[in-house]
């Protein structure tokens, strides 16, 4: 099983209760498909980077879960069929301790390359 994170954005009209109900529904789908929910982060209502469906705001939720690659396609298909889901993104989860320090390592490698010239 691979660890994934799925972020979806709901219509801004969703309040905390409706967003929680939808999150429970999505977690139920994950369990039905054979996955395991690791963590749920409710980011709440935030400003979008650009307009989506003539909306400037959306309600963000991120779910970290374990499952197979086939689950990603099915989960995103189900989310896309929901009218109130504005955007979906699923990526392989990379723990923060692994990506901290990456820019410094890249900068050090670039500095070494420029010193050689």
Q: What is the pLDDT along the chain (117 residues), one digit of tens a residue?
A: 889 999 999 999 999 999 999 999 999 999 999 999 999 999 999 999 988 888 999 999 999 999 988 899 999 999 999 999 999 999 998 877 776 655 555 655 555 655 554
Q: What is the pLDDT of residues 87-101, one digit of tens each?
A: 999 999 887 777 665
CATH number of the domain where residue 88 is located: 3.30.70.60
| Residue 41 · residue 6 · CB < 8 Å | no
Q: Which pLDDT score, from 0 to 100, does residue 29 have?
A: 95
* Count of domains observed in the chain: 1
Q: What is the pLDDT of residues 60-76, one digit of tens each?
A: 999 999 998 889 999 99
Query: Is 73 exposed, middle or buried (CB count within 10 Å of its CB: 0-12, 13-18, 19+)?
Result: exposed
Q: Residue 70's domain spans which residues?
A: 2-116
- Cβ contacts of 41 within 8 Å, gap of 6 or more: 61, 62, 63, 64
Query: Is 58 exposed, middle or buried (CB count within 10 Å of its CB: 0-12, 13-18, 19+)?
Result: buried
């Amino acid at each position: 099983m691979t660890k994934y994170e799925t972020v979806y954005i709901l219509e801004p009209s969703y309040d905390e209760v409706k967003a929680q109900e939808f999150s429970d529904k999505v977690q139920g789908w994950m369990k039905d498909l054979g996955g395991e929910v690791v963590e749920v982060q409710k980011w709440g209502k935030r400003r979008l980077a650009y307009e989506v469906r003539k909306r400037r705001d959306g309600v963000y939720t991120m779910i970290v879960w374990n499952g197979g690659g086939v689950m990603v396609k099915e989960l995103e298909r189900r989310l896309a069929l929901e009218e109130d889901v504005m955007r979906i993104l699923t990526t392989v989860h990379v723990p923060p301790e692994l990506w901290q320090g990456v820019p410094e390592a890249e900068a050090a490698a670039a500095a070494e390359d420029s010193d050689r010239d």
